[in-house]
Amino acid sequence: MKVLITGAGGQLGKELSKQLKEKDMSVISLTRSMLNITDQQAVRHAMRHYRPDIVVSAAAYTSVDQCETETEKAYLVNGIGAYYTALEAKQVGADVLHVSTDYVFDGQKGAPYQVDDQADPQTIYGKSKKLGEELIRLVSDEVKIIRTSWLYGHGGHNFVNTILRLAETKDHVRVVNDQFGSPTYTKDVAEALIHLFDQASGIYHVSNRESCSWFEFAKEIVARSGRSTTIEPISTEEYGFQTPRPAYSVLDLQAIEATGWQPRHWKEALQEYLQKEGRWHQHD
């Protein structure tokens, strides 16, 4: 089986490439510099040249604040680029798995979002990802859309690494306490994606189990890394985000659990991440 990954330079792309190679699968890992997904001719050439069996569409423009000012780029990458990837993949008979986000929801539900809940994004990032989902479904019903949330992984910019860095230099760190979601380790998402290779088409939500606020997540990161930094809870309003974030973006996991994949608790996943990074405090 030959698997082609777009966005292979990102946290999830790197992890997925690593796991597939460990399983001795044939992997074509294409980073942003290797394949511009907004260039349809380039995407067509890549698909016809490699002729993959499976395409994992992980390329995205994910900077939430920058998407607001670079609107055209956001829609080109997250919407049109995702469409070109699915379209040209299907032309060579490849299965398509597309990675999407909790940001397609408005964050007002107050209960876990199910796969068929109405998408109503409040940001350009979310709107551009929603467009990508819609365009992909126009290409074919035989696609898999995987939404995930609060992602962190090795070798990238993420919330865990930011908190660890701040904890090394500051006595107090202020973190919002009124936004709730499920922290999710890329190792677990990559495992779920591979599991989904053999499953039915449709939309799946993939995250670690249970939820918390960013404040609670930060407290856990600091405690498990053995730091004494005080984490101070503040409101979203006090923090003053440039762009609104979903207040509640927990994803319902029933669809993927029904396939036999069981997510682990976010605290368990965080511990493994910190151990692999050499940042776990043994006497926690």
Residues with catalytic function: 125
What whole-number distance in Å separates Cα of residue 108 and Cα of residue 280? 35
Comparing CA positions, the residue from 106, 37, 35, 116 lying closest to residue 78 is 37
Helix boundaries (H) for the chain: 11-22, 40-50, 64-69, 71-75, 82-91, 124-139, 159-169, 186-196, 214-224, 236-239, 254-257, 266-276
CB 152 within 8 A of CB 161: yes
Q: Is 240 left (phi over 0), alpha (psi -120 to 50) or beta?
A: left
Q: Decide if 219 contacts 228 (C-beta within 8 A).
A: no
161 CB-near residues (< 8 Å, 6+ apart): 152
Alpha-carbon span 114 to 254, nearest angstrom: 8
CA atoms within 13 A on the CB side of 68: 10
Longest Cα separation, the chain: 56
Residues 6+ apart with CB under 8 A from 207: 102, 148, 149, 150, 181, 182, 183, 184, 189, 250, 251, 253, 263, 266
